[in-house]
Structure 1
Amino acid sequence: METSNRFLSRSEIIGFAVLAAVIFIVLPVALDTFRLNLFGKYLTYAFVAVGLVLCWGAGGILSLGQGVFFGLGGYCMAMFLKLEASTPENTAIQSTPGIPDFMDWNQLTALPAWWQPFNSLAFALLAVVAVPVIFAFIIGVAMFTRRVGGVYFAIITQAFAAILTILIIGQQGYTGGVNGITDLRTLLGWDIRTDEAKEILYYVNGVLLFAVLFAAQYVRKSKLGRLLIAMRDQEDRVRFSGYNVANFKIFVFCLGAAFAGIGGAMFTLQVGFMSPTLVGIVPSIEMVIFCAVGGRLSILGAVYGALVVNWAKTTFSESFPELWLLGLGGLFIAVVMAFPNGLAGVYAEHVAPRIAKLFNKSAGDDMPGAAKTPAE
């Protein structure tokens, strides 16, 4: 008999194995390089969705600003890649060679001091996680220590997403403005634009996603995970029991930001650019939709939600370019109304019982010495 505090139950082991087969075997075999790269982009959103399962599903913290952390991680990686592509040889036609092209267009004559550390890949990789976490820590301390939560917290995080978007667009000479940071070519001399590189990055993306999934599973199965659920359901009771609720909320909010930052960095590598359109209110709300459709209580469901919603978004936009937003909204409304626990809820309520019944029946038929009636 399996206990609930095991790191992975039998059904969860099967779930992880199926997801691994889908990501590492089925999709690479079934799709060409272009479509595989699209699904690699979809997987980068799954990092955000997994973080939202911990924040929203387990902790009851609905953040409508996860695009902020996704964008910060993506911009940190893009800054390193852009500096590597902006060598004096590659930018010889500029007025000031050796700086990114958008800085030259905006009449900057030297690389800003805060860009200098991003010449180091090690610093950039550290910043991919550290910058979103620091930003989330500041927001968390400001909000949770004052017991701001629920709808108010969601609106405030949405406001931060809008503010950061405006800031990035307004500081065009330092951030690339509305176009973002584009024309990213190499990673330590390795051309990331080739089909072979995109396939390799897809597999790296999948491996990192599973690392994030295992980290999220560890949190869910730990004492912290149980406290998060208790805080979601009865926050005052947890507080009266002597726990500092604000600290737990800050931690899980920062953890979700770290996951989103990693996803943003992988998006930059997979797609080859980063822009403010991925930071604002609309993408942040879409990320919540990924989590809701997949199931906000399931980390595996969140991954499937990101894949399904983005696949539907691509399909609708290709077939009905003027109606795809209505199709995406209709999909979200239909899932939430018919299946409030998302795809994971559909599986748990309708598919898993049938599979268990089938296995139990097979096991009963195979038992040696099983009593049979004369008719049998």
Structure 2
Amino acid sequence: MPAPTRLPALTRPGPARTWAGFALAALVLFALAPAVLSDFRLNLLAKFLCFAIVAVGIGLAWGRGGMLTLGQGVFFGLGAYLMAMHLKIADAGLRGDTVPDFMQIAGIRELPGYWAPFASPLVTIVAILVLPALVAVLLGLGVFKRRVKGAYFAILSQALTAAFAILLIGQQSIGGSNGLNRFRSFFGLSLADPANKRMLFFVAAGVLLSVVALTRQLMFSRYGELLVAVRDQEERVRFLGYDPANVKVVAYAAAAFFAGIAGALFVPIVGIISPADVGIVPSIAFLIGVAIGGRTTLLGPVLGAIGVAWAQTALSENFPSAWTYAQGLLFIVVIGFFPAGLAGLATLRRRRTRTGPAQPIPEPTTTMEPVR
């Protein structure tokens, strides 16, 4: 029986190469991009960086852990709505009102009780950092302890995303189907000022580099090796005395943590959050970028997410109805013929270039003598 096809392993680059890569990325994000892009394009790139932050977490959970996470829209939406609630309360305070503008239109005269804690910036930041990861831990323990995995876990996570979007639509106290929008300030800074919008791009770029650095440490640590072992041989890891459920929960919570931060940054950058931004379609779009870029690599998800988002923006301007079909076709081609993604294909090509073509193993020669 032939051996099963495995994704290419992640080789650890040297310190010099790692520092050079981070320096080049910082140069591009903090110097080159602001110099050559207009304010509109720079804000668009900041939006793409938020998607890349989500993609890094998916790469860790799916690429290294084998968990097909189709529900990242839930954690992205949690971070986004928590930030949006704080911004709407702050804007109402600037106008001298007690409730946000959309509540006044809906006839709501008092701030709901669950809105009140998010008037504090500190509480909002802590909630953004803790709540998505906490929800992921609770869900992960409930799912992985029961040994739910594979397609069943993917369907369950997608169903959770659909339920979350439907729940948001039915809640008029958080905007309903229209969501929350028209934010005027961000922690005391005016969002109408182009300098503050540019500052948000730098914040998103810094967060992305920090997330990539943290993920790199996880991938190349002993935990990263254990996560790959759980992906490939879960039962063998269990026989060695480890609990695969706990290993998976850590990666799943880390991905949720990244998604929550990305959602919180998305709100002031884009200026709106609605159920359409956190439902099934956005969750699948996150996954498509990771798959195309290369889910087993460190930078593949980042480049894939940014590339797919840029292609969607560029092509949809000229071919609005054709982009969806092109995106689906690209996803099918990559999954069918390049399961490791474009970055994985490049890695495999470099490895073959270093080692050279495989040489056939010669047959052993024996001298046959007649039996006497």
Equivalence for 1:168: 168
CA contact (8 A) 1:316 1:327 kept: no
Shift of 1:331: 2.5
Shift of 1:23: 2.1
* 1:74 maps to 2:73: no
Change (3 A) 1:351 1:22: farther
* 1:286 maps to 2:292: no
22-31 vs 210-219, which moves further: 22-31
Question: How is 1:58-73 mapped onto 2 (pairs within 5 angstroms)?
Answer: 58-73=64-79
Equivalence for 1:362: none
Question: How is 1:23-38 mapped onto 2 (pairs within 5 angstroms)?
Answer: 23-38=29-44
Shift of 1:333: 2.6
* 1:114 maps to 2:114: yes
Equivalence for 1:299: 298
Equivalence for 1:342: 341
Equivalence for 2:127: 127
CA contact (8 A) 1:184 1:272 kept: yes
SS of the equivalent of 2:135 reads helix
Shift of 1:183: 1.0
CA contact (8 A) 1:72 1:132 kept: yes
Aligned partner (choices 88, 95, 98) of residue 90 of structure 1: 95
AA aligned to 1:275 is S
Task: Summarize deviations over 1:86-144 as a string: whole Å, max 9, x none.
Answer: 12x626xxxxx420122222222211111111011111111112111121122111101
Shift of 1:267: 0.6
Question: How is 1:1-376 mapped onto 2 (pairs within 5 angstroms)?
Answer: 9-87=15-93, 90=95, 97-172=97-172, 174-350=173-349
Equivalence for 1:371: none
Q: In the aligned structure 1, how far is the partner of 2:131 from the partner of 2:110?
A: 24
SS of the equivalent of 1:284 reads helix
Change (3 A) 1:85 1:353: farther
Change (3 A) 1:352 1:84: farther
CA contact (8 A) 1:312 1:328 kept: no
Shift of 1:344: 1.3
Shift of 1:214: 1.0
Q: In the aligned structure 1, how far is the partner of 2:12 from the partner of 2:346?
A: 21
Aligned pairs, how many?
Answer: 346
AA aligned to 1:235 is E
- Unaligned 5+ segments in structure 2 are 1-9, 356-372
Q: In the aligned structure 1, how far is the partner of 2:293 from the partner of 2:337?
A: 13
Q: In the aligned structure 2, how far is the partner of 1:20 from the partner of 1:178?
A: 38
- Unaligned 5+ segments in structure 1 are 92-96, 358-376
331-340 vs 274-283, which moves further: 331-340
TM, length-normalised to structure 2? 0.88
Q: In the aligned structure 2, how far is the partner of 1:102 from the partner of 1:159?
A: 29
Q: CA RMSD in A?
A: 2.0
AA aligned to 1:82 is K
Shift of 1:196: 1.4
Change (3 A) 1:335 1:230: same
Change (3 A) 1:23 1:337: farther
Q: In the aligned structure 2, how far is the partner of 1:10 from the partner of 1:334?
A: 35
Shift of 1:13: 3.7
Equivalence for 1:368: none
